[in-house]
Amino acid sequence: MTEPPRLQFPCAYPIKVVARAAPDLRQTLDDVFTRLAGPAALSQVSERPSGQGNFVSVTYVIEAQSEMQISALFQELKQCPSVVMVL
């Protein structure tokens, strides 16, 4: 079995966060991304509410510097109370 190809860093890396809709959700997510990926992480963000408006998916495209940075983002995002999943 061959190992999948490794990412070449730095690279553009999309991270999708699915969360319960909340008034302060974007600010909370923006703070995490800014702290761990820099202010440029906020330059490519798309947001899409669910059909009934109970959930929202927010996709950030960051300039990833390492697997460790991506892992740290996933870990911290999963600690946010409204976050259901991180992809």
Calculate helix-pair angle for 67-78, 25-37, nearest 10 degrees.
160
Q: How far apart are CA 62 and CA 34, in angstroms?
A: 10
Q: Show the domain range for 47.
A: 24-64+73-86
Given this model, what pLDDT does residue 16 score? 98
6 falls within a domain: no
Give the closest residue to 86 by CA, choosing from 51, 59, 49, 54: 59
CB atoms within 10 A of CB 27: 9
pTM of the model: 0.91
19 falls within a domain: no
Q: How many domains does the chain have?
A: 1
33 falls within a domain: yes
Given this model, what pLDDT does residue 7 score? 86
Provide the residue type at 69 as one letter: Q
Query: Which tens digit of pLDDT belongs to each residue from 31-83?
Result: 999 999 999 999 999 999 999 999 999 999 999 999 999 999 999 999 999 99
